[in-house]
């Protein structure tokens, strides 16, 4: 990956916004610029100066590995498990930056107060979330190759889980099995806490996997994804346990038809809200609009959930190189819930499906 180009592009944007320094704490932004993988319980900080110089601040225990594996030359340690872990920032702040770029949805009050104490109260914090999102929203060919691998792993895992759908097996057992299958396939791990929800758990919807066992005649949703080389996938399938009713089949068909309509709407130049509307029109025509309570899709990349959002009122214009999920759902109380979620790459002429697991109900 061309990490240096990424940092240079970010530094150029910093110049436009008159930022002296950017301090990034968000683990996905840091992975995007450094390529360095950390355990999810571990933090790090990436400092970028206006001229593109970088300092990477990692936990003492990760220092040797970061020096060996990360392209950034200036790597310094911070002490873990102490209240003064931010002390490593002091030398950067003593240069008296006036305007510091931060991720306002990630920087904590404790971190901000520390910086104000060292740098002085005159410092201004400027949100750079928009700048990093701009960089990340269009995927390069190298990034798309990683996302394809993550999508392939998730598709193969999903097809294996399909074989195990039967009465008596518990939601949590199958959801946790997906993580093992991903590990076997060479993934770093799951891209989020996978969840399976069956029967009445599904139409709530539940969004976790419980100890409930699958029962004959239920619809079951499994939503999961893998991480490969730092890039995420995200896929949902709906399964029938044994025989299901005509009404359940209809719920599934409406959700799937809505998904197909949204995918057909995806091409460069289309607005996000138009893709969302294509899905909602199908669900509404079936009189089920009230039972589709969430977005139609979201971007996927280093984060499993990033720009662009495909939802009502979002006027982002789709462009080649964007990768999004398409996942309208129908959750009908006392009947069942269904959602078919695929990942789609926006191409120059339309779009391409990245996930491939079987989509039918049985």
The one segment of 154-162, 244-252, 291-299, 342-350 that binds a copy of itself by CB under 8 A: 291-299
Q: What is the closest distance, in whole angstroms, from the C-beta atom of residue 81 to a copy of itself in the complex?
A: 5
Q: What is the closest distance, in whole angstroms, from the C-beta atom of residue 61 to a copy of itself in the complex?
A: 6
Regarding 187 and contact with a copy of itself (CB under 8 A), the answer is: yes
> 340-355 in b/e burial notation, b at 16+ Cβ within 10 A?
bbbbbbbeeebbeebb
The one segment of 39-47, 49-57, 212-220, 263-271 that binds a copy of itself by CB under 8 A: 39-47
Which of residues 107 and 251 has its CB atom nearest to a copy of itself in the complex? 107
Which of residues 249 and 305 has its CB atom nearest to a copy of itself in the complex? 305
Regarding 315 and contact with a copy of itself (CB under 8 A), the answer is: no
Q: What is the closest distance, in whole angstroms, from the C-beta atom of residue 257 to a copy of itself in the complex?
A: 22
Element holding 177 (H helix, E strand): helix 171-184
Among 183, 320, 321, 350, binds a copy of itself (CB under 8 A): 183
Peptide bond into 308 cis (omega under 30): yes
Among 1, 38, 116, 138, binds a copy of itself (CB under 8 A): 38
Query: Taking a C-beta distance cutoff of 8 angstroms, is the pair 24, 30 a contact?
Result: yes
| CA nearest to 213, candidates 198, 200, 223, 224 | 198
Regarding 209 and contact with a copy of itself (CB under 8 A), the answer is: yes
Q: What is the closest distance, in whole angstroms, from the C-beta atom of residue 305 to a copy of itself in the complex?
A: 7
Regarding 298 and contact with a copy of itself (CB under 8 A), the answer is: yes
Which of residues 211 and 246 has its CB atom nearest to a copy of itself in the complex? 211
The DSSP code sequence of 54-89 is EEEEEEGGGHHHHHHH-S-S-EEEE-TTSTTGGGGG
Q: How many CB atoms lie within 10 A of CB 51?
A: 9
Cα–Cα distance for residue pair 319/297, rounded to 1 Å:
15
Cα–Cα distance for residue pair 54/6, rounded to 1 Å:
12
Which of residues 147 and 182 has its CB atom nearest to a copy of itself in the complex? 182
Cα–Cα distance for residue pair 287/2, rounded to 1 Å:
49
Q: What is the DSSP letter of 290?
A: G
Q: What is the closest distance, in whole angstroms, from the C-beta atom of residue 187 to a copy of itself in the complex?
A: 8
Among 37, 156, 257, 267, binds a copy of itself (CB under 8 A): 37
> Which tokens hold the place of 221?
């949703």
Regarding 24 and contact with a copy of itself (CB under 8 A), the answer is: no
User: Which positions from 47 to 86 touch a copy of itself by CB under 8 A, shown as an x/- string?
Assistant: -------------xxx-xx--x-----------xx-----
Query: Taking a C-beta distance cutoff of 8 angstroms, is the pair 326, 310 a contact?
Result: yes
Cα–Cα distance for residue pair 44/165, rounded to 1 Å:
41
Regarding 17 and contact with a copy of itself (CB under 8 A), the answer is: no
Q: What is the closest distance, in whole angstroms, from the C-beta atom of residue 204 to a copy of itself in the complex?
A: 5
> 108-134 in b/e burial notation, b at 16+ Cβ within 10 A?
eeebeebbeebbeeebeebebbebbee
Tell me which residues touch a copy of itself (CB under 8 A).
Answer: 37-42, 60-62, 64-65, 68, 80-81, 102, 104-110, 112-113, 125, 127, 170, 172-173, 175-177, 179-180, 182-184, 186-189, 192-193, 195, 204-209, 211, 293-295, 298, 304-305, 309, 311
């Amino acid at each position: 990956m061309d990490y240096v180009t990424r940092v240079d592009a970010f530094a150029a944007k910093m110049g436009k916004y008159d930022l002296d320094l950017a301090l990034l704490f968000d683990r996905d932004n840091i992975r995007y610029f450094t390529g360095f993988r950390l355990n999810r319980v571990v933090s790090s900080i990436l400092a970028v100066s206006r001229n593109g110089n970088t300092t990477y601040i990692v936990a003492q225990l990760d220092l040797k590995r970061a020096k060996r594996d990360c392209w950034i030359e200036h790597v310094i340690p911070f002490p873990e498990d102490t209240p003064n872990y931010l002390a490593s920032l002091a030398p950067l702040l003593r240069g008296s930056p006036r305007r510091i770029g931060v991720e306002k949805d990630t920087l904590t009050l404790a971190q901000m107060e520390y910086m104000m104490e060292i740098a002085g109260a005159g410092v201004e914090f400027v949100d750079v979330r928009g700048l990093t999102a701009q960089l990340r929203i269009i995927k390069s060919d190298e990034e798309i190759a990683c996302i394809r691998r993550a999508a392939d792993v998730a598709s193969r895992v999903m097809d294996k889980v399909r074989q195990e759908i039967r009465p008596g097996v518990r939601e949590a057992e199958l959801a946790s099995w997906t993580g093992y299958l991903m590990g076997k396939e060479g993934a770093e791990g799951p891209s989020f806490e996978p969840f399976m929800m069956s029967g009445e758990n599904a139409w709530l919807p539940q969004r976790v996997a419980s100890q409930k066992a699958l029962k004959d005649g239920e619809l079951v949703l499994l939503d999961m994804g893998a991480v490969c080389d730092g890039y995420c996938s995200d896929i949902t399938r709906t399964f029938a346990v044994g025989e299901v009713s005509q009404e359940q089949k209809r719920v599934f068909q409406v959700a799937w038809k809505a998904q197909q309509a949204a995918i057909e709407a995806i091409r460069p130049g289309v607005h996000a809200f138009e893709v969302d509307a294509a899905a909602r029109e199908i669900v509404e025509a079936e009189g089920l609009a009230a039972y589709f309570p969430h977005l139609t899709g979201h971007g996927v990349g280093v984060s499993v959930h990033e720009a662009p959002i495909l939802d009502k009122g979002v006027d982002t214009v789709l462009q080649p190189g964007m990768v999004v999920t398409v996942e309208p759902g129908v959750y009908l109380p006392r009947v069942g819930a269904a959602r078919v979620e695929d990942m789609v790459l926006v191409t120059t002429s339309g779009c391409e499906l990245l996930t491939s697991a079987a989509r039918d109900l049985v």
